């Protein structure tokens, strides 16, 4: 399996990860801090894309070392409000676009951005390009189950999907879950309104048939209430439904946090109660924290592309680098190509 060897050779690090230094709410400071931490911890080279003058100032201001970190000049940032197509033309030299171009040119092995999701999907698809045969790439958030982590495809890259796209999502998700998350024979579930085979829309009914005949460990339909507890490892759905699901989970997380706050700050007794339970509450919060898992891979691109959360801090960026490193080192894309080719017609 080790076609490429990315391990450290005496003083020379041969894996390079490009990070859009100006994407996200906390750029560039948190990106820079995360990059510096990742270099130390994971032994990779990092190239930061963006206004190199500003980056120089940032390193100086923060008093950080540029060891194993280089800059690549880029002009401006693609904003969330921008038409994502601008990454292909007017804004192709923005910090996200340059990072993508470096990956496309083979000058970097993977890229990370906390910038516009829509632009990342557009650029991932058309600049980094897709794995041969992949119809659409899928945004793939890593989600907290009750006793496990699971992934969701598609988290929102494609609002309209066909059954063969969902089958590809299932394959890519299954490989990712196995190679990166270390789950043997991941359970794949089709998000649906009931457990029975005939449930759902035409999309679910046709996808069910495809997955039943696939080489995957397809466990049938999964209802949203069981998906949320982590019943399966890979939850497959179209990008519209996936995005609604993902944001409902996020919303309910906020809901619970706000509710607990109300309870705890009610009176002295509850404040004392809060003190006793705070450690556990914090652990749950940590478990539900996107910063711990890194970013959401855009699965289906020919090279690893990772979407970091818009409000990522240094820890989130560092973890995204680890995720990108694993992605490259473990030859996830080669494995996806193999399993995709085993699951084409039917």
Which of the stretches 61-69, 251-259, 307-315, 331-339 binds a copy of itself when contact is defined by CB under 8 A?
Answer: 251-259
Residue with Cβ nearer a copy of itself (109 or 231)? 231
CA distance 267 to 105: 61
Shortest Å, Cβ 42 to a copy of itself: 31
Q: Are 305 and 117 in contact (CB under 8 A)?
A: no
> Does position 149 bind a copy of itself by CB under 8 A?
no
Shortest Å, Cβ 125 to a copy of itself: 18
> Does position 290 bind a copy of itself by CB under 8 A?
no
**Direct distance between the N- and C-terminal alpha carbons of the chain, in angstroms, rounded to an integer:** 28
Phi-psi group of 144: left, alpha or beta (phi > 0 → left; psi -120 to 50 → alpha; rest → beta): beta
String of b and e for 191-202 (b: at least 16 CB within 10 Å)?
A: bbeeeeeebbee
> Pick from 160, 215, 344, 346: which binds a copy of itself (CB under 8 A)?
160
Contact set for a copy of itself, span 183-222 (CB under 8 A): 191, 193, 200-201
Shortest Å, Cβ 242 to a copy of itself: 9
With the C-alpha atoms ordered 98, 103, 109, 114, is the resulting torsion angle positive or negative?
positive
Least Cα distance to 17 among 336, 317, 335 occurs for 317
> Pick from 251, 311, 341, 344: which binds a copy of itself (CB under 8 A)?
251
> Does position 181 bind a copy of itself by CB under 8 A?
no
Shortest Å, Cβ 67 to a copy of itself: 40
By the 10 Å C-beta count (0-12 exposed, 13-18 middle, 19+ buried), 78 is classed as buried
> Pick from 185, 213, 277, 311: which binds a copy of itself (CB under 8 A)?
277
CA distance 140 to 53: 34
> Does position 315 bind a copy of itself by CB under 8 A?
no
Q: Are 114 and 23 in contact (CB under 8 A)?
A: yes
Which of the stretches 28-36, 131-139, 250-258, 317-325 binds a copy of itself when contact is defined by CB under 8 A?
Answer: 250-258
Least Cα distance to 180 among 10, 36, 324 occurs for 324
Residue with Cβ nearer a copy of itself (109 or 154)? 154
Query: In this structure, what DSSP letter does residue 127 have?
Result: I
DSSP-based three-state secondary structure for 144: strand
Which of the stretches 2-10, 213-221, 276-284, 312-320 binds a copy of itself when contact is defined by CB under 8 A?
Answer: 276-284
CA distance 27 to 115: 9
Residue with Cβ nearer a copy of itself (228 or 321)? 228
> Pick from 252, 338, 342, 346: which binds a copy of itself (CB under 8 A)?
252
> Does position 311 bind a copy of itself by CB under 8 A?
no
For 319-335, give the secondary structure using H, E and C. Answer: HHHHHHHHHHHCCHHHH
> Does position 228 bind a copy of itself by CB under 8 A?
yes
Residue with Cβ nearer a copy of itself (241 or 343)? 241
The CB-based long-range contact list for 74-77 (8 Å cut-off, 24+ gap) reads: 74/22, 74/49, 74/50, 74/98, 74/99, 75/51, 76/22, 77/22, 77/23, 77/27, 77/50, 77/115
Shortest Å, Cβ 299 to a copy of itself: 19
Residue with Cβ nearer a copy of itself (307 or 325)? 307
Residue with Cβ nearer a copy of itself (256 or 334)? 256
> Does position 148 bind a copy of itself by CB under 8 A?
no
Kindly list the residues in this chain that would bind a copy of itself in the complex (CB under 8 A).
146, 156, 159-160, 191, 193, 200-201, 223-229, 237, 239-241, 243-256, 258-259, 262-264, 266, 269-270, 272-277, 280-281, 283-284
């Amino acid at each position: 399996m080790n076609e490429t060897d990315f391990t450290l050779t005496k003083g020379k690090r041969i894996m390079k990860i490009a990070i859009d230094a100006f994407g996200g709410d906390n750029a560039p400071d948190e990106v820079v801090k995360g990059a510096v931490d990742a270099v130390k911890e994971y032994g990779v080279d990092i190239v930061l894309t963006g206004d190199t003058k500003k980056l120089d100032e940032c390193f100086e201001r923060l008093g950080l070392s540029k060891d194993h970190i280089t800059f690549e000049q880029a002009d401006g940032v693609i904003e969330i409000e921008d038409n994502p197509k601008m990454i292909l033309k007017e804004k192709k030299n923005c910090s996200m676009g340059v990072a993508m171009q470096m990956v496309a040119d083979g000058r970097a092995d993977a890229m990370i951005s906390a910038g516009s999701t829509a632009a990342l999907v557009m650029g991932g698809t058309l600049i980094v390009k897709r794995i041969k045969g992949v119809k659409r790439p899928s945004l793939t958030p890593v989600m907290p189950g009750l006793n496990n982590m699971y992934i969701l495809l598609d988290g929102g890259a494609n609002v309209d999907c066909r059954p063969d796209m969902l089958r590809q999502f299932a394959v890519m998700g299954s490989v990712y879950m196995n190679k990166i998350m270390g789950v043997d024979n991941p359970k794949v579930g089709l998000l649906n309104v009931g457990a029975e085979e005939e449930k759902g829309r035409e999309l679910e009914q046709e996808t069910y048939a495809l997955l039943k005949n696939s080489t995957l460990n397809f466990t049938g339909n999964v209802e949203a209430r069981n998906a949320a507890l982590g019943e399966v490892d890979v939850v497959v759905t179209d990008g519209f439904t996936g995005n609604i699901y993902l944001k409902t989970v996020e919303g309910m997380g906020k809901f619970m946090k706000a509710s607990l706050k109300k309870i705890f700050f009610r009176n002295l007794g509850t404040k004392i109660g809060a003190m006793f339970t705070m450690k556990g509450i914090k652990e749950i919060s940590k478990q539900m924290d996107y910063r711990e898992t890194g970013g959401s891979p855009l699965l289906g691109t020919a090279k690893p592309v990772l979407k970091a959360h818009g409000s990522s801090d240094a820890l989130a960026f560092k973890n995204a680098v680890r995720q990108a490193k694993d992605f490259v080192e473990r030859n996830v894309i080669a494995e996806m190509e193999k399993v995709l080719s085993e699951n084409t017609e039917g």
